[in-house]
Copies of this chain bind each other. A is one copy, B any other.
Amino acid sequence: MINERMRDLGRRRSAIRDIFEYGLLRKRELGEEAVYDFSLGNPSVPPPEAVNRELLRIIEELPSVTLHGYTSAAGDLSVREAVAGYLSKTHGMEVFANELYMTVGAAAALTCALNALVQRGEEVILLSPYFPEYRVFAEGAGASVVEVECRKNDFHPDTSAIKKAINEKTAAIIVNSPNNPTGAVYTEAELSELSEILLDAQKEYGHPIYLIADEPYRELVFGGARVPFIPRLYHNTVVCYSFSKSLSIPGERIGFALVPKNVTNRTDVYNAIAGAGRSLGYVCAPSLLQRLLPAVLGMTSELSVYDENRRLLFSALSKMGFSVVPPEGAFYMFLRSPIENAAEFCLAARKYELLLVPSDSFGVSGYVRISYCVDTEMIKRSLPAFGALAKEFGLNGD
């Protein structure tokens, strides 16, 4: 029989995708330049040149049967050694190849980790607002989702609320910093406090509580924000990473899950992730994309564009009277809707061809997400539209 949960997931595209598809339609009607699409987190800056250069090189130089052949399920050993070396050097904590499981992007790393570390009926804590697919992934693994709201002023974690939400059924908490959709970057002090809470809870309930760190935006930080390496602060951390955003290759689906050496029963945890990969149908991460990595580790696209966009938009919107959470990382801006119903506000914005995503599907109401990983010129063109929108809602600009 058709699985109704799956049917509904397929039928109702995510709110974000829906708006994006509306935008495509609208652009066909009015022309590309007339629509201001801030819906999707699709990097607009091209990958560093080394990405294509290295792809061309390995296609030309490596034997085809190896290049396009199966790698081990965990990923090619030399690739994992290179990634481990890079992580060790970058984070001042020794990482080994056998702690890495290469994945088809961060989404796959998350579903593997969740299916590995959560039993049916256990709970996964999400810090709202959160990337909506976390709920899909956690429920897909049989977990119940427990939402804990972030602090309303800056959308950093509300550690005392997290403490209250933990109980004997808590199996894991997903931490996403730099954050989608708020742009918040959690401080070392905050994460240390979270670590204390989790350590206490582990002692109280007598079982591990995993911190699943989803870090596709790790390199996208601005204004001097630092992204702590969470395994140094909390032992039971599994890191999920994707090269999608740092290298602007989101369609290629390449990332990893890392089970660092200080995880309790790390061999079991690692095996469970590998087993989940097998059960979900992930045979290996795409070989060509794996083999690209050693040459481009540590490189990023030209991120200064996002920083420019961030400054431009934040300053313009603030001047218009919008209340915006100052974004510290990723490429999202979280803006307070002038009316409580953010969906209604987004519909009003559409009249000005502004495509914004209401915060409801992120687990909070009254905000909109603006993806500013777009062409800077589009932002400039969009400002009069934002101005008119501000006026319609009676905001007092400068």
Contact = CB atoms under 8 A, between A and B. Distances in A.
A284 to B, nearest CB: 6
Contact of A9 (B110, B253, B275): B275
Contacts of A5: 275, 279
Interface stretch (A43-51, A178-186, A314-322, A323-331): A43-51
A341 interface: no
Given A9-B278, A282-B107, A70 B3 contact: no
Contact of A140 (B8, B108, B280): B280
Given A275-B9, A275-B10, A283-B253, A118 B68 contact: no
Interface in A1-25: 1-3, 5-11, 13, 17
Interface string A103-146: 01101111110011111001000000000010011011000000
Contacts of A275: 3, 5-11
Interface in A200-219: 207-208
Interface string A40-72: 101111110001100110011001110111110
A46 B65 contact: yes
A289 interface: yes
A288 interface: yes
A274 B5 CA distance: 11
Nearest to A280: B280
Top 7 A-B residue pairs of the complex, sorted by shortest distance between their CB atoms: A251-B287, A9-B275, A10-B275, A111-B281, A10-B271, A10-B274, A140-B279
Given A51-B68, A108-B281, 14 more contacts: A3-B272, A7-B272, A10-B278, A42-B69, A43-B69, A44-B65, A47-B68, A55-B55, A104-B282, A110-B281, A111-B279, A136-B279, A252-B288, A288-B289
Interface of A: 1-3, 5-11, 13, 17, 40, 42-47, 51-52, 55-56, 59-60, 63-65, 67-71, 73, 104-105, 107-112, 115-119, 122, 133, 136-137, 139-140, 171, 207-208, 248-253, 265, 268-289
